[in-house]
Amino acid sequence: MSGRFRPGVFWGSGVKRVSVALLAVAFVVFALLPRQSQLLLHTIGQPLADLVAIPLEGMATLDRDMREWWMQYIALQSLSEQNRELREKVRQLTGEVNRLRAQALTAERLAALLKFQKDESVRTVAAKVIGRNLSNWYQGVILNKGEEDGIREQMGVITPAGVVGRIVRTSGATSIALLTIDPNVAVAGMVQRTREEGMVQGTSQGLVRMKYLPPLSSVKKGDAVVTSGLTGGFPRGVLIGDVSRVEESEDNLFQTAEIVPAVQFRYLDEVLIVVSPRSPDAMIPLDQALVSPGLQNPAP
Amino acid sequence: MKISVYAIFILFLISFQATLLHSLNPFGIQPDLCLVIACLVGFRTGHIPGAIVGFGLGFIQDVFSAGLFGLNMFTKAGVGFLAGVFARNLANRAPHAAFVPIVACSVLSSTVFLLSSRMGMGLGEMLHAFSFILLPQAILDGLAAIVANWVIVQWLVEAPSS
């Protein structure tokens, strides 16, 4: 524990010295060749991501079960004033009801997701949230679908409630999506009532702001903001949230609107990844469209 | 055998941090357990094991992070190394002695993330991130380190025979 510096002791010997040298070389390569090292690390990390996804999925299921158990526990607390015998019976029934309700809610949610997936003219892939951000510096979720399912970076992520975020990293079986409340995510938005467009971006405070609204815009509290479909990843008209406050920007050239996101990110379980913002079926070439049966004159 | 145990522990740690830790933490800020473990390894066994463990943990963390690939890897290796260097100059290795070095390592590591993830942001947003993310996380990291260090001292380190 001597504070005196002795190189032989400080740098260790044999394997330790080689390890330190390798770390130093890796750091130099990382600093000097950022693009190549990113590519290399991404390639090395892919099988590792698939491996970690296995315990991650198990732990996510445990997490979901614990949350449901906790909700059941909260529900049971309200029965404490009833007599013991009845309480026991009610506890059993409540437990059963809660279990069934949780199942019903899951079924309802999945049915809504399925209906939304069918209704929308976009092509989507359903994915389950298996983890959350590993650091406080990014607001993201880990999804159980990856490159093997056709997921690529920059694809949009939505739910029937609205916009969730954007895919920023993929591996074979998993992908990472940054949420709209993260400052590194920007989505082209539009105020539904006035049709004015702006850039929707997260803030450090975990809020969502719509920037670059015209100074004379009549946008007001309660207005719905939807995607404009101008930037890739999202179809037009998916709800982002409702305006909660409008203020002038610091340079007085634009207005900025604060938005309450439509999606509750804390309770996100299933999402849809937008594989193609416009369905191939919806994009019939003009010459085909003119001769398509729907546009021909009906037979007499 | 030892390597398999470490590998399982790391898989468990990463999975725990990505799932259950979020449910157990209602305030939105969570301790970085990978940083705590890297620092503790450095603190208890030396700067080189600290750097190596930090490098490995950081790499897996990078696989599931949205930021620049390699950032966690090198910052965790750096803080594992620094924690070991701090420990060389400490006379007291009681559980609570880990608090200050690990808070310092956490502040250093988070500063790197603050500068990289909030690039191009105004001073106000930077200050907000400093006060509401960086400092609370550093304190949580320090507290988690005390608990983990206490567990190590109580159960994992054999008591010296008298």
Three-state secondary structure of A209-262? EEEEECCCCCCCCCCEEEECCCCCCCCCCCEEEEEEEEEECCCCCCEEEEEEEC
For residue A18, being part of any structural domain is answered with no
Q: Are A59 and B70 an interchain contact pair (Cβ–Cβ within 8 Å)?
A: no
Tokens standing for residue B54? 């930090």
Q: For A177-205, how does the pLDDT look when each residue is reduced to its tens digit (9 = 90+)? A: 999 999 888 999 999 888 899 999 998 77
CA distance A146 to chain B (A): 12
Does residue A273 share a domain with residue A154?
yes
A126 plus A215 within the same structural domain: yes
Classify residue A1: in a domain, yes or no.
no
| A137, A142, A178 member nearest B64 (Cβ) | A142
- Check: CB of residue B77 under 8 Å from CB of residue B49: no
Among candidates B47, B48, B61 on the partner chain, residue whose Cβ is nearest the Cβ of A134: B61
Same domain, yes or no, for A115 and A138? no
In a domain, B13, yes or no: yes
Both A143 and A113 in a single domain? Answer: no
Alpha-carbon distance A259 to A207, whole Å? Answer: 7
**In chain B, how many domains are there?**
1
Domain count within chain A: 2
Measure the CA–CA gap between B60 and B14, rounded to whole angstroms. Answer: 8
CB A143 within 8 A of CB A271: yes
pLDDT at B24: 76
Residue A132 belongs to some domain of the structure: yes
Same domain, residue pair A66 and A140: no
CA torsion B12-B14-B15-B20 (nearest 10°) is: 100
- Same structural domain for residues A207 and A244? yes
Taking 70 as the threshold, does the pLDDT of residue A292 lie above it?
Answer: no
Rounded alpha-carbon distances, angstroms, from residue A82 to A79, A120, A206, B141: 6, 49, 42, 44
Whether residues A101 and A126 fall in one domain: no
pLDDT band at A9 (very low <50, low <70, confident <90, very high): low
- If asked whether residues A98 and A149 sit together in one domain, one would say no
Look at residue B54 and tell me if it is in a domain: yes
CATH (domain of B142): 1.10.1760
- Residue B161's pLDDT is 46
The reported pLDDT for the residue numbered A6 is 57
Q: Does A140 sit within 8 Å of B66, measured CB to CB? A: yes
pLDDT at A66: 83
Residue A291 pLDDT level (bands cut at 50, 70, 90) = very low
Q: Once rounded to an integer, what is the mean pLDDT over residues B103-109? A: 93
* Joined tokens for residue B131: 């006060």
Instruction: Classify residue B146: in a domain, yes or no.
Output: yes
| B161 located within any domain | no
pLDDT in tens, A217-249: 889 999 999 998 887 788 888 999 999 999 887
Selected for mutation to probe chain A from B32, B47, B63 (highest A CB count within 10 Å) is: B63
- Domain with A160, as residue range(s), is 122-278
Q: Is A154 on the interface with B (CB under 8 A)?
A: no
Q: Which of A27, A141, A204 to mutate to test the interface with B (most CBs of B within 10 A)?
A: A204
Q: Alpha helices, DSSP H only, in chain B?
A: 2-18, 20-24, 33-45, 47-63, 71-88, 99-117, 123-129, 135-151
Pairwise CB contact (< 8 Å): B11 & A51:
yes
Name the more confident of A3 and A49. A49
B160 belongs to a structural domain? no
Whether A3 is covered by a domain: the verdict is no
Q: Please check whether residue A134 lies inside any domain of the structure.
A: yes
Look at residues A63, A86, A119 and tell me which one is the last residue of a structural domain.
A119
Q: How confident is the model at residue B75 (pLDDT cuts 50, 70, 90)?
A: very high
Tell me: do A95 and A136 sit in the same domain.
Answer: no
Which residues between 76 and 135 in chain A have a beta carbon less than 8 angstroms from any beta carbon of chain B?
Answer: 130-135
pLDDT of residue A1: 42
- A176 belongs to a structural domain: yes
Which residue on chain A is closest to B133 by alpha carbon? Answer: A136
Q: Is residue B162 part of a domain?
A: no
Tell whether A67 lies on the interface with B, counting CB pairs under 8 A. yes
What residues of chain B, 63 to 122, have a C-beta less than 8 Å from chain A? 63-70, 72-74, 77, 88-91, 110, 113-114, 117-118, 121
Residue A297 has pLDDT above 50, yes or no: no
**Residue A73 and residue A128 in one domain:** no
pLDDT value at A282 more than 50:
no
* B112 inside domain: yes
Residue A240 sits in a domain of what CATH number? 2.40.10.350
Both A145 and A126 in a single domain? yes
Task: State whether A49 and A83 are in the same domain.
Answer: yes
Mean of per-residue pLDDT scores for chain B: 84
Which of A68-72, A93-97, B87-91, B154-158 comes out lowest in average pLDDT?
B154-158
Determine, yes or no, domain membership for A54: yes
Q: Please report the sign of the dihedral spanned by the C-alpha atoms of residue B90, residue B91, residue B95, residue B99.
A: negative
**Containing structural domain, residue B48:** 2-155
- Decide if A59 and B20 are in contact by the 8 Å CB cutoff: yes
Which of A119, A134, A169 is where one domain is finished? A119
**Shortest CA gap B137–chain A (Å):** 8
Q: Which of A42, A59, A67 is facing B69, going by the closest CB pair? A: A42
B108-135: pLDDT as tens digits: 999 988 888 777 777 787 888 888 889 9
Residue at A101 is within a domain: yes
Residues of chain B with Cβ-Cβ distance to A182 below 8 Å are 66
Q: Say yes or no: A73 contacts chain B, CB-CB below 8 A.
A: no
Alpha-carbon gap: B151 to the closest alpha carbon of chain A (Å): 22
